[in-house]
Amino acid sequence: MNLFADDTTVFLNEEDGLEDLEKILDNWCMALTAVFNIAKTQILPIGKKEYRLRIIMDRRASPDQRQIPEHIHIAMEDEAIRTLGAWYGHNLHDGVVWANQLEKIDESLENWNKSNPTMDGRKKIIQMVIGGMSQYLTQVQGMPKSVEKKLKKRIRQFLWAEKKISPSSSLSERKAWTPHIGSSGRPCEPPRRT
């Protein structure tokens, strides 16, 4: 079992029963005086496609087990579920994984833009918002070229928003990404694709 704050990820094989897991979790919660929110449970079938589809259709991992209750969500093919900040599923495309994060970045940049920041302020906002909000997901999921391209476009649009100057003038995009020396004395660098 992998426990992180209020997220629990459990991997079961086809012989493991959901009712056995519920008993273990009930005992664990009683010992810790905690509450396990079974209503938020999601199941992502893993294995060959035929097996995954059988779990989805029959709502059970094997014929000798009781059905998974209707209130427990079973992820369909091509559906993503989120756990520990990462997205998992079968046949996922980048749009599913990154759509929510790109939307949050856009909303944040839009809010920051209302404060009419200076060019130096815009540089710091870009590093904080785009760098900060994409860093974890990039680490756990990777950043596809299509998303990198979208973020570069957002950087240019935000940096030069409502300015009479253009990217070709004295302050280049490269200059905007010049590392800022933080309070630790180390440069605060923009996110890098690895």
The gap between the terminal CA atoms of the chain, to the nearest Å, is 29
CA–CA gap between residue 162 and residue 115 (Å, rounded): 12
Residues 86-111 pLDDT 10s:
888 888 877 778 999 999 999 999 99
CA–CA gap between residue 129 and residue 89 (Å, rounded): 27
At 32, give phi and psi (nearest 5°): -100, 5
What is the token pair recorded at 28?
């664990």
Calculate ∠ Cα 87-100-176, nearest 5°: 110
Cα-trace Rg, the chain: 23
pLDDT in tens, the chain (194 residues): 544 446 778 888 888 888 888 888 888 888 877 777 777 889 999 999 999 999 999 998 888 888 988 988 999 988 888 888 888 888 887 777 899 999 999 999 999 999 999 989 999 999 999 999 999 999 998 999 999 999 999 999 999 886 655 555 445 555 555 565 656 666 655 555 55
What is the token pair recorded at 25?
């979790």
Burial 109-125 (b: 16+ CB within 10 A, else e): beebeeeebeeeebbeb
Pick from 170, 162, 160: nearest CA to 123: 160
Pick from 48, 71, 47: nearest CA to 59: 71
Residues 158-167 pLDDT 10s:
998 866 555 5
Indicate yes or no: pTM above 0.75: no
Residue 182: predicted pLDDT: 59
Residue 168: predicted pLDDT: 52
Residue 109: predicted pLDDT: 97
Q: Considering all CA atoms of the chain, what is the largest pairwise distance in Å, rounded to the nearest integer? A: 72
CA–CA gap between residue 10 and residue 4 (Å, rounded): 12
Cβ(109)–Cβ(101) below 8 Å: no
Residue with tokens 């939307």: 103
What is the token pair recorded at 109?
């940049």
